[in-house]
Amino acid sequence: MNEVSAEVVNPGPLALIQDQGRVGAQHLGIGVSGAADRHAAGWANRLLGNLGDAPVVEVCLGNFRLRFRESTQFALTGADMHWTLNGRPLRNWCSHQAPAGAILACSFTSRGLRAYLALRGGVKAPMVCGSCATSMGDRLGGLYGDGRPLEAGDCLQVSQRAFFPFSQRFVPQKFQRAYGEAIELRVVPSNQFSQFSAQSRRQFFASIFRVAPESDRMGVRMQGRALSVTPENMTSEAVSPGAIQVPPNGLPIVLMPDCQTIGGYPKLGHVYRVDLDRLAQARPETHVRFVLGDRAESQQESLLHTQFFSAQECV
């Protein structure tokens, strides 16, 4: 093994260590967290032959800067942030090799919200309740285990296999995503769906909502025409990423990976887990349309995604 490290020079607005999330502790009130766009994060690891759950850096909005202390292999996916290595432009959705001392930098993205940086071998971080994922709300995970986002001066450490030959890899064109100004999210009716009035349900699927600026890793809020009637007096129950909650103001909120484990707002349905990856990249004002999906399709796609990205370490 070959220990290499890199120093965060500037984290930008928000940079977080994430993996596939903290599964199995929701009954203790501990949220799942994990990469918001699992498609992009999964590909970043795959390009390097990393384990599917290797910790990566989730860079939100951009302006991130890193200095490699040793020669390091890395991969970039997700929102195009105009990455450069020592000032020279780098391709996105692609693996690269940095010489010792090189500076990796990006500017702000104009499409999408989150980029993923994977280092070969995976960033080292303490396991907290079975995961390294940073949860700022729960104060768990990340480089120090306490939920802090990355800060200037933080040192990312990796164990890479020595003398591993580098060959540049690309994500096939078909799986590279460009994040546009409108998305469709497929929905499986769930929990309180039948308690919403027929009119509210029709209106929900007929409306075009826009992503509200006060959206984050806990939830993406919709703005637009509010649903007129929503069920009342619900008893709190478990909630999970993808749930579409409708608070009394009638404007849906789609829960994201940092959501709470229990909620008291009625739920119309759940967005397909694979479609949440696109929502995670939706900037404010992105148009969102919800379309009725079905259980079998939703579960099949979720299974395919999980099987594909849970593949073992390879060369």
Partner 1 sequence: MFRLVESGDNAITVYLADQPGDQALARVVSFCAQAREVMAHHLQDLVPSYCSVTLYFDVLRSDFYSVRRLVRGIADRLDTETMPTVTGDPADESGTSVGKVHVLPVYYGQDAAMDMARVAQVSGLTAEQIIATHSTQRYRVYALGFRPGFAFMGETPARLRVPRLEVPRKRVPAGAVAIAGTQAAIYPSASPGGWNIIGRCPTTLFSCPSGEPKVLLGVGDVVQFQPISRQAFLDKGGRLHE
CB of 111 to partner 1, least distance (A): 27
Complex with partner 1: residue 197 or 300, whichever CB lies closer: 300
If you search the block for the tokens 């970039």, which residue do you land on? 76
Positions of E strands within the chain: 2-10, 14-18, 56-60, 65-68, 72-78, 84-85, 88-89, 94-98, 103-105, 114-119, 155-160, 182-189, 209-211, 219-223, 237-238, 243-245, 253-255, 262-263, 267-271, 287-292
CA distance 206 to 188: 15
195 in contact with partner 1 (CB under 8 A): no
238 in contact with partner 1 (CB under 8 A): yes
186 in contact with partner 1 (CB under 8 A): no
Binder among 139, 202, 225, 289 for partner 1 (CB under 8 A): 139
Complex with partner 1: residue 148 or 169, whichever CB lies closer: 148
Binder among 247, 306, 308, 313 for partner 1 (CB under 8 A): 306
CB of 80 to partner 1, least distance (A): 28
Q: Please name every residue paired with 3 in a beta bridge, in sequence order, or none if there are none.
A: 159
Q: Where are the alpha helices (DSSP H) in the chain?
A: 38-47, 198-206, 273-279, 295-309
145 in contact with partner 1 (CB under 8 A): yes
5 in contact with partner 1 (CB under 8 A): no
Interface residue list for partner 1 (CB under 8 A): 23-30, 126-130, 137-140, 145, 188, 190-191, 235-238, 240-243, 260-263, 267, 270, 272-273, 295, 298-299, 302-303, 306-307, 310
